[in-house]
Structure 1
Amino acid sequence: MSSHLSLARFRPRLIDALAGYDQQRFLKDLGAGATVGIVALPLAMAFAIASGLKPEAGIWTAIIAGFLIAALGGSAVQIGGPAGAFIVIVYGIVERYGVANLLIATACAGVLLFLMGLFRLGTLVRYVPVSIVIGFTNGIATLILISQLKDWLGLTIPKMPADMFSQLHTLAIHLGTFNPYAVGLGVACLAGLFLWPTLLHDTTRFGHAVHLVLRRMAELRAVRAGSRVPGPIVALVSLTLVSWGFSLPVETIGTRFGGIPEGMARFALPEFSWETVKQLVTPTLTIALLGAIESLLCARVADQVSGLPRHDPNQELMAQGVANFVAPLFGGMPATGTIARTVTNVRAGANSPIAGIVHALTLLAVVLIAAPLAQHVPLAVLAGILLFVGWNMGEWREFSPRLLRRASRDYRVLMLGTFFLTVVFDLTVAVQAGIVLACALFVRRMSRLFSVEMVSLEPPVLTFKLHGALFFGAAAKLDPTVQAIERAPRGMTVVLDAMHLVLLDTTGLAGLRQVHKAVLARGGQLRIESLQPQPLETIERSGFADELRSGTPGPEEP
């Protein structure tokens, strides 16, 4: 019998989306893409700075990776680029290995992601338990919140360490160096981001006089149009103007990085060697694993909110792989699907990958035209935007005592264990330990479903009923059956009723062989009746059926 490995077909969703594409759909995509492109600008800079990189690394990642993920991906509306989930990971890699090795690890992760999609492993990511996803997502959100306190408060700290406890210690001993102007900008940014979405919609909370003023403002056409501008853009522009206009003594992109270089990103091959790649196995796997999980989770969210045809997970992983391989060649950082920008894209009217391409081109145009203005952006404002992102990223209600009491013990162990491992150690350790623990808990639950029931002892017949799955985690439950047979009168016929036996693996088969040997040792005969298709096929293929018919024992265990 011949077999072949089935590879995924490389067919971007863009090809199907262009069928019947018309001007009306293009105008919707154009508006949505331009909106998301503007939203992505402050986030891209903030993610890069928080990751220990220059702001242009985030911007060019959003442009290049965002274009490639939209053009080659398997989702109709997903927006790709730098993501908050990567901040802690990238910062740790930069601290330990340096920026040059981060570029190599990202490119290698891109190769892994492409191979995962090519070999149809996209669906396997869906099998990661939701408790693990919530645990590491909340852990990463917590680390983001802690990491942004330095710039949000304007603390004078030359270099922040990578691990959480060292960061907390460093923040505590430098708390007296806070900058009141930076604190004011940071607080104003954060408060504005929380209030902006409902400022002109739910005005009753502000008191009667303020309510009347806001209602009058809401009636103005210009104000109504302005209220649709995304909050991060409003915060970035308004607070930058305040800082620049009053010459506030706060740290900006210009004072720390010298601004953003004008013109196109430069292509440069990193110094590649197999020795370096071997040293970067752990960060490479971390970037690939997180990129795969985040991108496919984001694509699933996009399916739910857009109502468009479901995404192709394998094609999406291949696109993510190409994007993460190419972006480092231009100094970029890891990229993945971004839920906030994707949802913004959908709500703005996107209906095809053209919107994602427009988003990347919009970013490119803004950078080429307005790059010199970025030097005035206060870092406290970018930190406030990231605090807002980190807060919205976490699913904090899952930690409420009420929900935890309702959840199963296994769910609580997995979620809280993954959260604490992410915070205390790192994401790789957390996900690896979480998946191993999830497998162990699953084996234990499945083993509890298997049972052996003795239903009759009427000489010369002894009958047992088998229920559930007889696999390696439950095979030991056959020991009492062997002991019961050894105590039974000689010459008995033992019947195993397998009507409710749904699965049998090789370890379970070895257990049945032990039962058979015990029966033969007592001079009896073993019959297995009412077998389901899978257990029957396993017994026939292994030769155990012939052993039962001939009444001979099977091979000795090694």
Structure 2
Amino acid sequence: MDKLKPKLFSVMKNYTKEQFMKDVVAGIIVAIIALPLSIALAIASGVNPERGLYTAIIAGFFISFLGGSRIQIGGPTAAFVVIIYSIIQEYGFDGLVIATILSGIILIIMGLLRFGSLIKFIPYTITTGFTSGIAIGILAGQIKDFFGLDMGPVPSEFIEKIKVYALNIHSINLSALFIGSISIITLIFWPKITDKIPGSLIAIIVSTLLVKFLKLDVNTIGSVYGELSSDFPSFHIPAMEFKTISRLIQPAFTIAILAGIESLLSCVVSDGMIGSRHRSNMELIAQGFGNIFSGLFGGIPATGAIARTAANAKNGGRTPISGIVHSITLLLILLIFMPFAALIPMPALAAVLIIVAYNMSEWREFIELIKTSPKSDIIVLILTFLLTVVFDLVIAIEVGIVVSAFLFMKRMSEVTEVNGWKYIEDMTDEDDIQDSENIKYKKVPKNTLVYEINGPMFFGAADKFMDITANEKRNKNVVIIRMRSVPAMDATALNTLKKIYKTCKKKGIILLFSHVQEQPMQVMTKAGFTEMVGFDNFLPHTDDALLLAEEIRIKNR
């Protein structure tokens, strides 16, 4: 069973000075990568730039200190941008803090209940659909700053965004477009030169210098948000009224699910890179504490960041110490260098997020799924994508999961079959006669009907079982139901079997069962169905049931 013990406490037993130095170097490099991303993601989410760093520092520390992964790096990620923006638009920043704290509590409960392994049951089509939808939402949110449009606040709804952009397209700032384009080009081509220094950092430095020395009329973080605070984040508990909590529990649950999915996916990726194995339930608990304290210290929702975690692995990080160093480094940057961040041009940050959106869009996987998947999966994929883009992530995940569940039940009901055996007298193949499980060559008495049920017996396929009594004939007084290929059954299927038994009893037909597996037998016994039918009418093998049917035929002759 998955331990509820942080990885940090396990790996420190054999920790060495050499590994400590590698972890320190990796942590500093990851902090440099996280710096522009944290600021850009905060701005895209509709909060002040400092709050992105607060999140990376506070949540990043707790996720590394308590986490179930050796090298997980926690912080703000693009997956939350759309939902954070919409929460702030409707409930303000205090509403976001409450939702973040609630999501942390939900994550801790999920970890304590050992739900870590259940996250994998969310269909790939749903995660791909909403991830691609989020990417479109992030891209749409950057148009104002990238083109320098002279307009008011950007609406949270996608369609409203497009309408407002169309009305203000005439106000494009060519200087902003120039800086944004230079940043995009730098972000695309810099990794081909070296991957030691992140392209986002180079793009921001180059664009800042261009704006400064060419005196370009371009919005910067300072001109939009004013003076940036370099103080350590203060502790703050928002007023939590029951009415507000009840309205925010739904987006909080969505944040928790997103955090769980992305963090555990990041853990799986990192496991493959360093040959480790994460503790999924402990990771959920760490994510929970990370989000609770992020909210209490003025941050935004956080989770495991796949790109930053991969960079940690590539640069020698092998223990949670590298994640803690990453948080400490960002704290030092906040306390010492934060005022300089005011010089960063807004089009450069928009360019960084446009590349982030492109990388997370998974458009190749999206197209591949459309080309190769069954129609039901394509429906879920496109539906989740469109709902994420047009409405919001909460609706998209809810509808996506419900539709997936119904389509899955439909497929399962199609798999479940009820087939009747035929009366066969001529058996000439000795090999087949010796095969005790061969259906084709079993001798069925003339007074008997045998039905084979293949697949799970559940409410989606219950109507098929009623055919058993609908097809009975006058000269038949025994019905055998063979359940060798029934792995599980539910209450609806059991209720259908009760109806079949009552119908058979009314018509003087003896009902026998053979090859009933463990789970269906437990369900029947618990409900008293085995006692109702008679324990002697449950046979271990079909041959035994056929022999008993023959005895009944001879007795009633």
**TM-score, length basis structure 2:** 0.90
Instruction: Tell me what 2:289 maps to.
Output: 322
> Which of 446, 465, 469 is residue 456 of structure 2 equivalent to?
469
Instruction: Tell me what 1:454 maps to.
Output: 420
> Which of 74, 77, 82 is residue 83 of structure 1 equivalent to?
77
Aligned residues: 516
Alignment deviations for residues 46-85 of structure 1 (CA, whole Å, 9 cap, x no partner): 0111111000011111111111111111111111111111
Instruction: Tell me what 1:186 maps to.
Output: 180
Alignment deviations for residues 259-299 of structure 1 (CA, whole Å, 9 cap, x no partner): 32123122222222323212322222222222222222222
Instruction: Tell me what 2:191 maps to.
Output: 197
Q: Tell me, yes or no, if the aligned pair for 2:3 and 2:279 is still in contact at 8 Å.
A: no
* Residue 506 of structure 2 corresponds to residue 521 of structure 1: yes
Instruction: Tell me what 1:299 maps to.
Output: 267
Q: Unpaired runs of 5+ in structure 1?
A: 1-5, 201-226, 553-558
**SS at 2:231 equivalent:** coil
* Residue 221 of structure 2 corresponds to residue 253 of structure 1: yes
TM-superposed deviation, 1:180: 0.8
TM-superposed deviation, 1:9: 5.7
Where do residues 487-506 of structure 1 align in structure 2 (5 Å cutoff)? Answer: 488-489=473-474, 492-506=477-491
Distance in 2 separating the partners of 1:272 and 1:448:
49
Instruction: Tell me what 1:217 maps to.
Output: none
Distance in 2 separating the partners of 1:265 and 1:540:
60
Q: Tell me, yes or no, if the aligned pair for 2:448 and 2:476 is still in contact at 8 Å.
A: no
Where do residues 144-159 of structure 1 align in structure 2 (5 Å cutoff)? Answer: 144-159=138-153
Distance in 2 separating the partners of 1:122 and 1:426:
25
**SS at 1:98 equivalent:** helix
Distance in 2 separating the partners of 1:22 and 1:550:
65
Instruction: Tell me what 1:36 maps to.
Output: 30
**SS at 2:117 equivalent:** helix
Amino acid at match of 2:407: L
Where do residues 184-333 of structure 1 align in structure 2 (5 Å cutoff)? Answer: 184-199=178-193, 228-308=196-276, 310-333=277-300
Amino acid at match of 2:451: F
Alignment deviations for residues 175-226 of structure 1 (CA, whole Å, 9 cap, x no partner): 11111111111111111111111136xxxxxxxxxxxxxxxxxxxxxxxxxx
Q: Tell me, yes or no, if the aligned pair for 1:525 and 1:551 is still in contact at 8 Å.
A: no
**SS at 2:31 equivalent:** helix
* Residue 305 of structure 2 corresponds to residue 334 of structure 1: no
Q: Tell me, yes or no, if the aligned pair for 2:79 and 2:131 is still in contact at 8 Å.
A: yes
Instruction: Tell me what 2:430 maps to.
Output: none
Alignment deviations for residues 69-112 of structure 1 (CA, whole Å, 9 cap, x no partner): 11111111111111111111111001011111111111121111
> Which of 501, 523, 533 is residue 538 of structure 1 equivalent to?
523
TM-superposed deviation, 1:548: 2.0
Q: Tell me, yes or no, if the aligned pair for 1:456 and 1:464 is still in contact at 8 Å.
A: no
Distance in 2 separating the partners of 1:10 and 1:480:
50
> Which of 119, 130, 137 is residue 125 of structure 1 equivalent to?
119
**SS at 1:526 equivalent:** strand
Percent of pairs with identical residues = 39
* Residue 386 of structure 2 corresponds to residue 399 of structure 1: no
CA separation of 1:441 and 1:499: change in aligned 2, threshold 3 A? same
* Residue 327 of structure 2 corresponds to residue 366 of structure 1: no
CA separation of 1:84 and 1:467: change in aligned 2, threshold 3 A? same
* Residue 66 of structure 2 corresponds to residue 66 of structure 1: no
Amino acid at match of 2:301: P
**SS at 2:488 equivalent:** strand
Instruction: Tell me what 2:399 maps to.
Output: 433
Q: Tell me, yes or no, if the aligned pair for 1:491 and 1:522 is still in contact at 8 Å.
A: no
- Structure 1 runs of 4+ off > 4 angstroms? none
Instruction: Tell me what 1:216 maps to.
Output: none
* Residue 406 of structure 2 corresponds to residue 445 of structure 1: no
Instruction: Tell me what 2:387 maps to.
Output: 421
**TM-score, length basis structure 1:** 0.89
Q: Unpaired runs of 5+ in structure 2?
A: 424-444, 538-557
Distance in 2 separating the partners of 1:317 and 1:475:
38
Amino acid at match of 1:345: N
Alignment deviations for residues 454-508 of structure 1 (CA, whole Å, 9 cap, x no partner): 11355311222121111111111012221112xx115611111222222222211
Q: Tell me, yes or no, if the aligned pair for 1:482 and 1:514 is still in contact at 8 Å.
A: no
CA separation of 1:59 and 1:499: change in aligned 2, threshold 3 A? same
Q: Tell me, yes or no, if the aligned pair for 2:66 and 2:286 is still in contact at 8 Å.
A: yes
Amino acid at match of 2:49: P
Distance in 2 separating the partners of 1:324 and 1:373:
28
TM-superposed deviation, 1:237: 1.2
CA RMSD of aligned residues (A): 1.7
**SS at 1:465 equivalent:** strand
Q: Tell me, yes or no, if the aligned pair for 2:369 and 2:378 is still in contact at 8 Å.
A: no
Distance in 2 separating the partners of 1:238 and 1:302:
32
TM-superposed deviation, 1:319: 0.8
**SS at 2:191 equivalent:** helix
